[in-house]
Amino acid sequence: MCLNRQSSIPLYEQVVNYVKEKIRTGQWPVGSRLPAQRKLAEWLKVNRSTISTAFDELAAQGLVKSAHGKGTVVINNTWGLLTDRKPANWQQLIEAGHYKPNLAIIQKINAAEFYPGIIRMGTGELSPDLLPNRKTSELLKNLNLRSFSLGYCEPKGNRQLREEIARYVAGFGIQTAPSSILIVSGALQALQLISIGLLERGTTLLLEKPSYLYSVNVFQSSGMRFAGMPMDSEGMCVDKIEAYKKNTPHSMLYTIPNFHNPTGRLMSAARRKQLLAVSARARLPIIEDDVYRELWLGSPPPLPLKADDHAGNVLYLGSLSKALSPGLRIGWVIGPEPVIDRLADLKMQNDYGSSNLSQEIARAFLHTGAYATHTAHTRAQLKIRRDYLLERLDSLFADLAEWQVPTGGFYIWLKVIPDIHAAALFQEALKQNVLLNPGILYDRDAGQYLRLSYSYASFDQMDEALRTLRRIILEQSQRSF
Amino acid sequence: MCLNRQSSIPLYEQVVNYVKEKIRTGQWPVGSRLPAQRKLAEWLKVNRSTISTAFDELAAQGLVKSAHGKGTVVINNTWGLLTDRKPANWQQLIEAGHYKPNLAIIQKINAAEFYPGIIRMGTGELSPDLLPNRKTSELLKNLNLRSFSLGYCEPKGNRQLREEIARYVAGFGIQTAPSSILIVSGALQALQLISIGLLERGTTLLLEKPSYLYSVNVFQSSGMRFAGMPMDSEGMCVDKIEAYKKNTPHSMLYTIPNFHNPTGRLMSAARRKQLLAVSARARLPIIEDDVYRELWLGSPPPLPLKADDHAGNVLYLGSLSKALSPGLRIGWVIGPEPVIDRLADLKMQNDYGSSNLSQEIARAFLHTGAYATHTAHTRAQLKIRRDYLLERLDSLFADLAEWQVPTGGFYIWLKVIPDIHAAALFQEALKQNVLLNPGILYDRDAGQYLRLSYSYASFDQMDEALRTLRRIILEQSQRSF
Ligand SMILES: Cc1ncc(COP(=O)(O)O)c(C=O)c1O
Ligand SMILES: Cc1ncc(COP(=O)(O)O)c(C=O)c1O
Q: Which CATH number characterizes residue B58's domain?
A: 1.10.10.10
Chain A residues close to B348, C-beta within 8 Å: 102, 110
Residue A42 lies in a domain: yes
Span from the CA of A188 to the centroid of ligand 1 (angstroms): 6
Given ligand 2 and candidates B261, B267, B333, which is best to mutate, with the most ligand atoms within 8 Å of its CB? B261
Q: CB A327 to CB B355 under 8 A?
A: yes
Choose the residue to mutate in A150, A352, A355 for probing ligand 2, maximizing ligand atoms within 8 Å of C-beta.
A352
Closest by Cβ to B25, choosing from A176, A184, A218: A176
Instruction: Indicate whether B32 belongs to any domain.
Output: yes
Residue A2, exposed/middle/buried by CB under 10 A (0-12, 13-18, 19+)? exposed
Neighbour count for residue A377 (Cβ, 10 Å): 14
Looking at the structure, tell me whether residues A147 and A163 fall in a common domain.
yes
Identity of the residue numbered A294 = E
* Cα–Cα distance measured from residue B262 to residue B452, given in angstroms and rounded to the nearest whole number: 9
Mean pLDDT of A2-30: 84
> C-alpha angle A20/A21/A26, rounded to 5°?
100
Q: Give the pLDDT confidence score for residue B82 in this predicted structure.
A: 44
Residues of chain B neighbouring A141 (CB-CB closer than 8 A): 140-141
* pLDDT of B88 over the 90 cut: no
B177 and B282: one domain?
yes
pLDDT at A255: 98
From chain B, the residues in CB contact with A88 under 8 A are: 279, 283-285, 311-313
In this complex, which of A101, A151, A218 lies closest to B327 when CB atoms are compared? Answer: A151
Q: How far apart are CA A370 and CA A356, in angstroms?
A: 19
The CATH number given to whatever domain includes residue B396 is 3.90.1150.10
Of B88, B136, B200, the CB nearest to A150: B136
The mean per-residue pLDDT over the stretch B253-280 comes to 97
Report the relative pairing of strands B411-416 and B449-453 from DSSP bridges. antiparallel
Give the ligand at the shortest distance from the Cα of A349: 2
Is residue A351 included in any domain, yes or no? yes
The burial of B247, by beta-carbon neighbours within 10 Å (0-12 exposed, 13-18 middle, 19 or more buried), is given as exposed
Say whether B355 and A97 touch across the interface (CB within 8 A): no
Q: What angle do CA B100, B431, B32 make, to 5 degrees?
A: 40
Asked if the ipTM is above 0.90, the reply is no
Q: Which ligand is nearest to the CA of B289?
A: 2
Position B39 confidence tier, pLDDT thresholds 50, 70, 90: confident
Specify whether B250 is located in the same domain as B397: no
Query: If you ran DSSP here, which 8-state letter would residue A24 be given?
Result: H
Residue A80, pLDDT > 80, answer no
Whole-number pLDDT of residue B355? 97
What's the rounded mean pLDDT across residues B365-376? 97
For range B459-464, the mean pLDDT: 98
Which among A369, A403, A423 is the end of a domain? A369
- Judgement on whether residues A196 and A223 belong to the same structural domain of the protein: yes
In the predicted model, is pLDDT for residue B130 greater than 50? yes
Asked if residue A122 has pLDDT above 60, the reply is: yes
Q: Rounded mean pLDDT of B120-130?
A: 96
CB-based contacts of A388, cutoff 8 Å, min separation 6: A454, A459, A462
Same domain, B67 and B191: no
List the beta bridge partners of residue B296.
B408
Domain contains B5: no
Q: What is the pLDDT of residues B164-194, one digit of tens each?
A: 999 999 999 999 999 999 999 999 999 999 9
Q: Which of A322, A338, A369 is the last residue of a domain?
A: A369
pLDDT score, position A86? 62
Q: Output phi, psi for A442, to 5 deg.
A: -110, -10
pLDDT at A96: 81
Alpha-carbon distance A352 to B186, whole Å? 8
Convert the pLDDT of each residue in A82-115 to its tens digit: 444 567 888 888 888 888 898 889 899 988 998 8
- State the smallest CA–CA distance between residue B403 and chain A in angstroms: 28
Instruction: Indicate whether A465 and A445 sit together in one domain.
Output: yes
**B393 and B347 in a common domain:** no
In a domain, B220, yes or no: yes
Do you find a cis peptide bond into A128, omega within 30 degrees of 0? no
Distance A44 CA to ligand 1 centre (A): 36
Per the domain annotation, does A2 fall within a domain?
Answer: no
Segment A22-37 shows an average pLDDT of 85
Together in a domain, B333 and B391: no
Same domain, B244 and B352: yes
- Looking at the CA of A455, name the nearest ligand: 1
C-alpha span between A19 and A375 (Å, rounded):
49
Average pLDDT of the residues in B307-324 = 94
- The mean of the pLDDT values for chain B is 92
Q: Report phi then psi at A65, rounded to 5.
A: -145, 135
Taking the C-alpha atoms of residue B369 and residue A350, their distance in angstroms, rounded to an integer, is 30
Residues A53 and A38 in one domain: yes
| B428 within some domain | yes
**What is the rounded distance in angstroms from the CA atom of residue B266 to the CA atom of residue A397?**
68
B317 and B220 both lie in a single domain? yes
Name the nearest CA neighbour of A231 among A196, A268, A190, A180: A268
Encode pLDDT of A441-464 as tens digits.
999 999 999 999 999 999 999 999
Between B448 and A248, the higher pLDDT residue: B448
Number of domains in chain B: 3
Q: What is the pLDDT of residue A85?
A: 55
Q: How far is the CA of A192 from the centre of ligand 1 (A)?
A: 12
Distance from the Cα of B190 to chain A's closest Cα (Å) equals 9
Contact A32 B102 (CB under 8 A): no
**Does one domain contain both B354 and B322?**
yes
Gap from CA of B102 to ligand 2 centroid (Å): 16
Alpha-carbon distance B478 to nearest alpha carbon in chain A (angstroms): 37
Contact B349 A102 (CB under 8 A): yes
DSSP state of B213: G
> In B225-316, which residue ranges form alpha helices assigned H by DSSP?
241-247, 269-282
User: Greater confidence, B249 or A34?
Assistant: A34
Which atom of ligand 1 lies nearest, measured to the CA of A329?
Answer: 10
**pTM score of the predicted model:** 0.88
Are B349 and A218 a contacting pair at CB < 8 A?
Answer: yes
A47 within a domain of the structure (yes/no): yes
Q: Is the dihedral of CA A123, A126, A129, A132 positive or negative?
A: negative
CATH of the domain at A212: 3.40.640.10
Give the tens place of pLDDT for each residue, A269-323: 999 999 999 998 888 999 999 999 999 999 999 999 999 998 889 999 999 999 9
Coil, strand or helix at B236? strand
SS3 A159: helix
What is the C-alpha radius of gyration for chain B, rounded to an integer number of angstroms? Answer: 25
Is the Cβ–Cβ distance between A213 and A252 less than 8 Å? Answer: no
Domain interval for residue A465: 110-130+373-479
- CA B348 – ligand 1 centroid, Å: 12
Tell which of A369, A395, A428 closes a domain.
Answer: A369
